[in-house]
Amino acid sequence: MKETVRNILKKYVDISCETTFIVGFSGGWDSMCLLDIMNKLSKEYGFLLVAAHLNHNWRGKESEAEKERCLAFCEENDITFISDTLAEGTKASELVAREMRYDFFKRCAEEFEADAILTAHTKSDNAETILYRIIKGTGLNGLEGIRELRDLGGFKVIRPILNFSRKDIEEYCIKNELYPNNDSSNANTKYARNNIRHNIMPAIKLINPNIENSLITLADIATGNNKIINELMQNIENQITIGNKWLTQNFLILNSAIKQHFVYKLLVNNEIEPSFSKIQELINFIVENQKSKTGKTLSIANDKWLFVSHKYTYFIHSEHYKKIEEEINIDKAGIYELAQEYKISIEETTEKVTKFPKAISNSAYVDLTNIGFPLTIRTRRNGDIIQPFGMQGKMKLKKYFINKNIPEHDRDKIVLLCKGNEVLWAVGIGLSEKLRTKDKPTHKLKMESLKNGNIRQEN
């Protein structure tokens, strides 16, 4: 087993004394086996091995005792141990547990600057996952099962013992005198996967004792077919996407099978368990909201939503809703930073401008003669107003954004140059009539992103 694990790791990581591995360690049979193998490899290579234990806090003292046994094992074997405990009242569901685990693993990987995160999924887990997806109504992609490698926010997640059955794992632990935890919740068949493990799989084995290998073979066939399909779909995808967004109308003219393919892929790419019902729910939502100017959102997970407008369809994440609270007071021309995200320059100029930037540009030539300092740079507040360029009257900023078809989730990210509660420039959206240049501009305005150079994409 050690040589198999070594060879799998070498496919994805250069192993040396500079390498760091995070191992998800519940203390159960599978993770105990993997951690022990990795500990033996660490003695050969000298890499840093970190055991990451998440206490789901579902079973009180039993969970705490398991954590202590995990800590004792790591101390005895000189393995770095890190743990966290979920808050009381956290929903006891398989989906929530999985999301919380991977969030914890990612935080550990960031803290230790890890090269990879290792999880102890086995052939048995893979077979049960494939069967679970068949029962739930998966597509061809879902039949691929658990992958040996996946990406988690820029970190590699590797499953080095995916080719070994639960029986192999148990034999290894017994042979190496390991004493894993026995999680009592694993016997609770109210959880779907436990029901499959303890009831459904044994019943199927009466018909086909080799069911695990049969399901893995099915996964291999699906993987091969999907490679062919993905090559063909790439040409179609190029016709319906701009960056990470779909062109809604282009998507809608696809036939139903191709629609399902792309929605499945969208769910997988956003780490959401796909099912036929979920895929159809998203397609129906796109159809129902295809004419929306400012767009509608559908909650898909705790921190993920599907956004649909007449132009674009894409996923939005919780960071889209993080409002910039900082406000900068401007009393003279200069260069300013907002929330360590944007650089805004206000420069005096005497140049004659023959061609002015478009309203959606991140720069503008303006006349501040009748405005003057002080000004402020911030995001929207209640009561904000604007006199749109070319108009005599003023309107609420909210109505202005609606008229410009700005989605709700984008509005708190738009940087504003203001005089009190009056908006003079909504960067990337438009100018106030009060900044109109009649003869020559007095100032040039410009904003740059300190992160990726993109301020806003039109919606």
Interval 166-222: pLDDT, tens: 999 999 999 999 988 877 677 778 878 889 989 999 999 999 999 999 999 999 999
- Is 0.95 topped by the overall pTM? no
Question: For residue 416, is it within any domain?
Answer: yes
452 — pLDDT class (breaks 50, 70, 90)? low
**pLDDT per residue over 226-256, tens digit each?**
899 888 888 999 999 998 899 999 999 999 9
pLDDT given at position 7: 95
Question: For residue 222, is it within any domain?
Answer: no
Query: 182: domain range?
Result: 2-205
92 — pLDDT class (breaks 50, 70, 90)? low
Q: What is the mean pLDDT of residues 75-86?
A: 92
Closest C-alpha to 365, from 431, 450, 419, 454 = 431
Same domain, 38 and 170: yes
Q: Is the pLDDT of residue 286 over 60?
A: yes
Question: For residue 334, is it within any domain?
Answer: yes
Same domain, 339 and 387: yes
Window from 28-32, 319-323, 364-368 with minimum mean pLDDT? 319-323
How many structural domains does the chain have?
3
Question: For residue 398, is it within any domain?
Answer: yes
pLDDT given at position 205: 94
Same domain, 369 and 290: no
Question: For residue 406, is it within any domain?
Answer: yes
pLDDT given at position 340: 85
Same domain, 355 and 298: no
Same domain, 286 and 346: no
Q: Is the pLDDT of residue 94 over 90?
A: no
Q: Tell me what percent of the residues of the chain surpass a pLDDT of 90.
A: 61
Evaluate whether 417 touches 424 at the Cβ level (below 8 Å): yes
CATH number of the domain that residue 14 is part of: 3.40.50.620
pLDDT given at position 459: 42
Same domain, 103 and 152: yes
pLDDT given at position 161: 96
Q: Is the pLDDT of residue 454 over 60?
A: no
* Half-sphere exposure (Cβ direction) of 131: Cα atoms closer than 13 Å: 24
Angle between helix axes 166-175 and 123-136 (nearest 10 degrees) is 150
| DSSP letters for 350-396 | -PPPSSPPPTTSSEEEE--TTT-S-EEEE---TT-EE-BTT-SS-EE
Q: Is the pLDDT of residue 128 over 70?
A: yes
Q: How far is CA 200 from CA 112, 209, 212, 218, 389, in A?
A: 40, 13, 12, 18, 67
Q: Where are the alpha helices (DSSP H) in 85-162?
A: 94-112, 123-136
pLDDT given at position 192: 83
Q: Where are the alpha helices (DSSP H) in 46-83?
A: 61-76
Q: Is the pLDDT of residue 64 over 70?
A: yes
Q: What is the mean pLDDT of residues 63-77?
A: 91
pLDDT given at position 348: 92
Q: Is the pLDDT of residue 456 over 50?
A: no
Q: Is the pLDDT of residue 458 over 50?
A: no
Evaluate whether 380 touches 411 at the Cβ level (below 8 Å): yes
Window from 55-59, 78-82, 407-411, 445-449 with minimum mean pLDDT? 55-59
Question: For residue 219, is it within any domain?
Answer: no
Structure tokens at 239: 């016709």
